[in-house]
Amino acid sequence: MKRRDSLGVLLALALCTRAPAHADVYQSPESFIGEVFGQRVSPKVLWLTKLMQAQASAILGHPPAQLRQRYWREGGRSVWILEETGKEELIGAGFVVAHQQIDHVRVLAYRESRGQEVRQPAFLRQFKGARLARGASLDRDIDGIAGATLSVAAMERMARLALYFDASSRN
Amino acid sequence: MSYNRFRDADRTSKADLRRFVFGFGHRFNDSLTFNSEVEIEHAVASAGDQGEIEIEQAYLNYRFSDAVNIKGGLFLIPLGILNETHEPPAYFGVERNEVETRIIPTTWRELGFGVNGLVGEGLKYDVGVTTGFDTGKLDDPSVGIRSAHQEGQLANARDLSVYGALNYRRPGLLLGGGVFTGNTGQNGQTNPLLKAVAARLTLWDLHAKYSVGRLDLQALYAAGTLGDADRLNAAILSSAPAPFAAPKSLKGWYMQAANHVYRRGDFDLAPFVRYERFDIRQQEDPANGLLQDPNNLERVVTFGLNCRVHPQVVLKTDIQSYRTDKTKNRFNVGLGYMF
């Protein structure tokens, strides 16, 4: 391709593609919760005791940002909206927990410059059925995405935290 | 940080704070971001030292959607596996592999504009127009065309280059390849003998990475051609204090296998082995004493251990054995981190 043609293609792409208002937010938490339950469900609050803060710190590798965690529960399922830093930016994800295992996961916001593949169903399906095992780790290995190691690790940490919070909220 | 202890007593064993990188970024809004990396090499940078301060990346990215991102500035070229993911915890071995150093000149960045995005499930494309190489600046054929890359420093840009890459990622799997091509004579801006000489450079690669259970497998093939090598020889003879034969073709490949034998929490212990081979063929001109350097046809075996004490902190050690230039045989220790 001639140089002038290449520049033309870049310019055409720029002009023809409309920018959405919030390019890196794929779904709002409200929309995700509504999709899970099919009806309006009031939020509940889990207060993090010192013991829970210590366990959350062990899972995350840093102290949790929150002293209380909002969640939604209906018909044996709970929804946890969590945020965690991948490499540099926060990743927002919704976790649905049922019967002490992950039912499904959705990435709601992703702002890193690389690693958007963690949004793909093939990656997220690996969490289905995952439970907490010894040491608050997952009971399975999650295959990584080349070039997105830290985003994958952040998703794993959030999955473990969602399971831990779900278990704590039932006690 | 790295420590290289050579078996050959005549080679100096060294410990070095090899690279220290600061990452700066800014989010102007949900769509427009700035990313950069500033690197200090070899601990001290001054007129009397070997250290350097470099801008490795400094670009603006405008994200229209997952499928379309446009970036402009100084950014990494998406060839190979290592160039875009070159942080020490992300690769095996204290030293970066030879193929992605001598054939693909990691860390390789250019000034320009690019478009990238995800199409379908897991397929990422990258295309762009950038500055290219200036073969008037060639001064070290042992690293292929690396010494002719301009790193965004007053880059001669009469000849621009284009690149394209496709990478398919699934959990545990990466398949991809890329190509970069452009003229490198730069209309003789560095060496007048290269005026009107195209010296077209084309580099390409294919790569694969597969993680199954505790096993990590990785392979890469890279190759390239540089046109007008005889004209480059004439230019080198006219200007280089120690003339050498210009490279005319490059190829190399490696295979690597690692086994995560022990994982517990953040701790991960993984022995690995890598076999690599690279051939940098030079345009010989015996009448003028320009000959092929035998050390540019090399095979390297590396046995080592990566010990991650945290996903972002790694202690590495390995032994490297070179078949042609045995003076490079060595024992390495490295410490790497990113945050």
A2 — contact with chain B (CB < 8 Å)? no
Tell me whether residues B122 and A142 touch, CB distance under 8 A. Answer: no
Per-residue pLDDT tens for A48-103?
Answer: 999 999 999 999 989 998 899 999 999 899 999 999 999 888 999 999 999 999 99
The interface pTM score, or ipTM, of the predicted complex is 0.80
pLDDT at B263: 87
Tell me whether residues B33 and A114 touch, CB distance under 8 A. Answer: no
The answer to whether residue B58 scores a pLDDT higher than 50 is: yes
Tell me whether residues B25 and A88 touch, CB distance under 8 A. Answer: yes
A88 — contact with chain B (CB < 8 Å)? yes
A50 — contact with chain B (CB < 8 Å)? no
Residue B98 C-beta-side C-alpha neighbours within 13 Å? 28
A18 — contact with chain B (CB < 8 Å)? yes
Tell me whether residues B65 and A23 touch, CB distance under 8 A. Answer: yes
| A149 → closest Cβ in B63, B64, B311 | B311
SS (H, E, C) chain B: CEEEEECCCCCCCEEECCEEEEEEEEECCCCEEEEEEEEEECCCCCCCCCCEEEEEEEEEEEECCCCCEEEEEEEECCCCCCCCCCCHHHCCCCCCCCHHHHHCCCCCEEEEEEEEEEECCCEEEEEEEEECCCHHHCCCHHHCCHHHCCCCCCCCCCCEEEEEEEEEEECCEEEEEEEEEEECCHHHCCCHHHCCCCCEEEEEEEEEEEEECCEEEEEEEEEEEECCHHHHHHHHHHHCCCCCCCEEEEEEEEEEEEECCEEECCEEEEEEEEEEEEEEEECCEHHHCECCCHHHEEEEEEEEEEEEEECCEEEEEEEEEECCCHHHCEEEEEEEECC
Tell me whether residues A19 and B23 touch, CB distance under 8 A. Answer: no
Q: How far is A104 from chain B (nearest CA, A)?
A: 17
Give the residue from B22, B64, B159 with the most A CB atoms within 10 Å of its CB, the best one to mutate: B64
- Strands B215-226 and B313-322 come out as unpaired
Tell me whether residues A145 and B171 touch, CB distance under 8 A. Answer: yes
Which residues in chain A have their CB less than 8 angstroms from residue B180's CB? none
| B30 → closest Cβ in A22, A116, A141 | A22
Query: Smallest Cα–Cα separation from B22: which of B46, B40, B47?
Result: B40
* SS3 of residue A25 by DSSP: strand
Tell me whether residues B122 and A17 touch, CB distance under 8 A. Answer: no
pLDDT at A7: 47
pLDDT at A23: 54
A39 — contact with chain B (CB < 8 Å)? no
Q: For tokens 């504009």, name the residue.
A: B113
Q: For tokens 């990584």, name the residue.
A: A144
The answer to whether residue B94 scores a pLDDT higher than 50 is: yes
Per-residue pLDDT tens for B146-196?
Answer: 889 999 999 999 999 999 999 999 999 999 999 999 999 999 999 999 999
In angstroms, the Cα distances linking A73 to A46, A163, A167, B124 are 12, 13, 12, 37
A51 — contact with chain B (CB < 8 Å)? no
B27 — contact with chain A (CB < 8 Å)? yes
- Between these two residues, A12 and A162, which has the higher pLDDT value? A162
Per-residue pLDDT tens for A24-40?
Answer: 789 999 999 999 999 88
B260 — contact with chain A (CB < 8 Å)? no
The size of chain B, in residues, is 339
Per-residue pLDDT tens for B106-162?
Answer: 999 999 999 999 998 899 999 999 999 999 999 887 888 888 999 999 999 999 999
Tokens of A170: 């039932």
In angstroms, the Cα distances linking B13 to A124, B8, B48, B253, B335 are 47, 9, 21, 27, 17
Per-residue pLDDT tens for B293-328?
Answer: 999 999 999 999 999 998 889 999 999 999 999 999
Which residues in chain B have their CB less than 8 angstroms from residue A60's CB? none
pLDDT at A15: 41
CA B63 to chain centroid, in Å, comes to: 26
Q: How far is A169 from chain B (nearest CA, A)?
A: 24
pLDDT at A11: 45
B64 — contact with chain A (CB < 8 Å)? yes
Give the residue from A7, A17, A138 with the most B CB atoms within 10 Å of its CB, the best one to mutate: A17
pLDDT at A8: 53
Give the residue from B30, B82, B161 with the most A CB atoms within 10 Å of its CB, the best one to mutate: B30
Which amino acid is it at B177? G
A151 — contact with chain B (CB < 8 Å)? no
Tell me whether residues A143 and B33 touch, CB distance under 8 A. Answer: no
Q: How far is B196 from chain A (nearest CA, A)?
A: 17
